[in-house]
A and B are shown apart, each in its own frame.
Chain A
Amino acid sequence: MTAPAIRPSPFDVARVRADFPILQRQMNGQPLVFLDSAASSQKPVQVLEAMDRYYRQHHANVHRGVYQLSQEATDMFEEARRAVARFIHAPSEEEVIFVRGTTEAINLVASSFGRSFLKEGDEVLITWMEHHSNIVPWQLICEQTGARLRVVPISDEGVLDMEAFAKMIEGPVKIVAVTHVSNTLGTVNPIRQIVDMAHERGIPVLADGAQAVPHMPIDVQALDVDFYAFSGHKMYGPTGIGVLYGKRQWLEKMPPYHGGGEMIARVTFEKTTWNELPFKFEAGTPDIAGTVGLHAAIDYIESVGREAIAAHEGELLRYGMELLAPIPGMRLIGTAPKKAGVISFVVDGAHPYDLGTLLDKMGIAVRTGHHCTEPLMDRFGVPGTVRASLGIYNTPEELEYLAKAVEKAAHMLR
C-alpha cells in the first residue's frame, strides 16, 4: 500500500495531547492509540482539576443554603449553565436543562412531550441511522399512546433520503427526532433543512447532538431546532452530565418528567405546582461537580478553538479513509459527502470482533459491534463494524499505524 500524497495540515496536537494524562498509558506493551472517542472521549487535566477543586473547596448542595458555601456551589452550577447556553448559542439559560446525558434528554422529551401531545394515530418520525437512544424512548411512548413510529430510509452511502422525508412529513407526524451526526456512519444530517420542512407544518424537531457537539460549532438558533440533546462525556467532560436544550414555547407546555425536590414551586398533598424553567425538569440534587467539569470542558474546547478542531479532525477523517480504503477486502460503511468523526468498516473474511481483538493487542482501542444501531447493521447486511472514531488528540501517525495494524490483522485472519 502506498501512502497518499496529501497529509493533514499541522495542528498543535502535541500540546493538546500533553493535556490528556491517560494518553501516556501503554496497552499490551504498546503506546495507547485511542480511537474510541465517539463512545466516550478522554479528559484533559483542566477538567479533572476543576472538578477536584470544586469538591475540595466549594461543595455544598445548590439553591438551598443561605450560607456562603452553598452560594458558591450554586454560582458555579449556574455559571456552567450560562457557559452551555453560550456554547450552543441558546437564546436563554432557562432553556438549558441539565440531565445525565443524551439518553436521558431524549427520554425526557419522548415521555413529557409524548404524554401531552401524542395520541392514537399520530406519528413519530425518526431515521434509519438513529442510535438506540433515539429509537427506544419513542417506541415506549408510542406503545403507551398508540402513536406510530415511522422510519426515514437512507442510501447505500448512508445519506438520509430527503425525498422520502418530504413525503413522510406529510403524514400525521407530531414530532421528528433525528441525529445530527450518525455515531456509526459519521453522516452529518441537514438539520436546518429538516427543521424548515417540519416547521412548515408546525412540527417540532429534536436533534440528537451527541456526536456533533464534540466536532463542530453548534448554534441551536441557526439550526432552529426545538430540542437539542448531548452528553458531556463525549466532549471531554465527565460522565453523568448532559444537556437538553429546548425552546421555551415547548418546555412550558410540557409536564415535568421526574418528581422530587428542586422542581416544585409549592407542595401540598392536594396539589403541587411546578417550579419555573429550567428547574421544573431538574428533580433532585443535580450532578453539580459534573456541571463544573462540563464547564471546564467547554472552556477547553473554546481555548483550542472549535473551527481549528473541526479542521484538524476533518483532515484526519479524510486521511484515515484514504489510508484504509486500499486495504484488500476493505468496505467502508458510511461514505456520505458530509461526515464527521467516525470511520466504520468491515473487511471481507475478517469478523469485526476478531479484528477488534487483534487491534487491541496492538494497542489500538476501537469499538466493534453494532454500536447500538442494530437496524442500521441490518440495513447494510453486516453483523457489525469496526469503528475508529476521532478526537481532538488523534494524529495522522496514529491513523497510519491503524491502517498497518488492520492490514496485519486481516492477514492473520485470512
Chain B
Amino acid sequence: MTINEIQDEIIDEFSLFGDWMERYEYIIDLGKNLPLIDEQYKTDDYLVRGCQSRVWLHARLDEQGKVQYTADSDAVITKGIIALLIRVLSGHAPREILDAELYFIDRIGLKEHLSPTRSNGLVSMLKQMKMYALAFQKQLEKI
C-alpha cells in the first residue's frame, strides 16, 4: 500500500468511532501494543526531547531499501499517535517518506497533538523521521 492508501485506511477506521472516548480508547490501545523500541536505542542519543512527554526514535534502512522505524514514549497517548505515524511511514522508500504529506492527523481529529506548542515531542519526532529519510536517501544516491 502507498502512504496515502494507508492514511485513507486510518481515516476510514476512525470514522467508525462515535465520540472522543472511543477515539482515545483506541489510541491508548495502540500505544499499549506498540512494539517497544529495542532497549539499546532507548538512550539519550535517540531521545527526541519534548517538554511534556519524551519520545525515542530509531530508524534503519532494510535490505529492500525501505526505512524501518521503531519508537517509544513515556506517555501512552503520545505512543498511540507514534504507532499511527509508524504505520503510515515505516516500510517505505526514503523518497516516498520525504514527499509524503500527512493529512490523516487532521482528518482524524488529532491535529492538536501535532501542534508545536503542545511540546509533547511529536513535532520534533516527525521532523526527525524525515531527517532519517533524507540521510538514507543521500546514502542510496551515493551507491
Contacts and interface: CB of A to CB of B under 8 A. Distances in A.
Looking at B20, B51, B54, B77, which has the most chain A CB atoms within 10 Å of its CB? B77
B78 interface: yes
Given A351-B75, A351-B76, A354-B76, A361 B52 contact: no
A412 B25 contact: yes
Contact of A384 (B21, B52, B78): B52
B75 to A, nearest CB: 4
Main DSSP-derived SS at the B contact region: helix
B75 A354 contact: yes
Interface size class, chain A: 10 to 19
Contacts of A368: 52
Contacts of B54: 383
Nearest to B73: A351
A383 B73 CA distance: 12
A353 B77 contact: yes
B56 to A, nearest CB: 14
Interface in A128-158: none
A24 interface: no
Interface string A382-414: 011000000000000000000000000000110
Contacts of A370: 51
A173 to B, nearest CB: 33
Contacts, number: 41
Nearest to B53: A353
B108 interface: no
Nearest to B20: A361
Interface string B51-88: 11110000000000000000000111110000000000
B74 A412 contact: no
A358 B51 CA distance: 18
B20 A351 contact: no
A255 interface: no
Contacts of B24: 357-358, 361, 412
A354 B20 contact: no
B53 A28 contact: no
Nearest to B51: A369
A358 B54 CA distance: 18
A82 to B, nearest CB: 39
A357 B53 CA distance: 12
B53 A351 contact: yes
5 contacts: A351-B53, A361-B24, A384-B52, A412-B25, A412-B28
* CB-CB nearest 6 A-B residue pairs: A351-B75, A353-B75, A353-B53, A353-B52, A354-B77, A361-B20
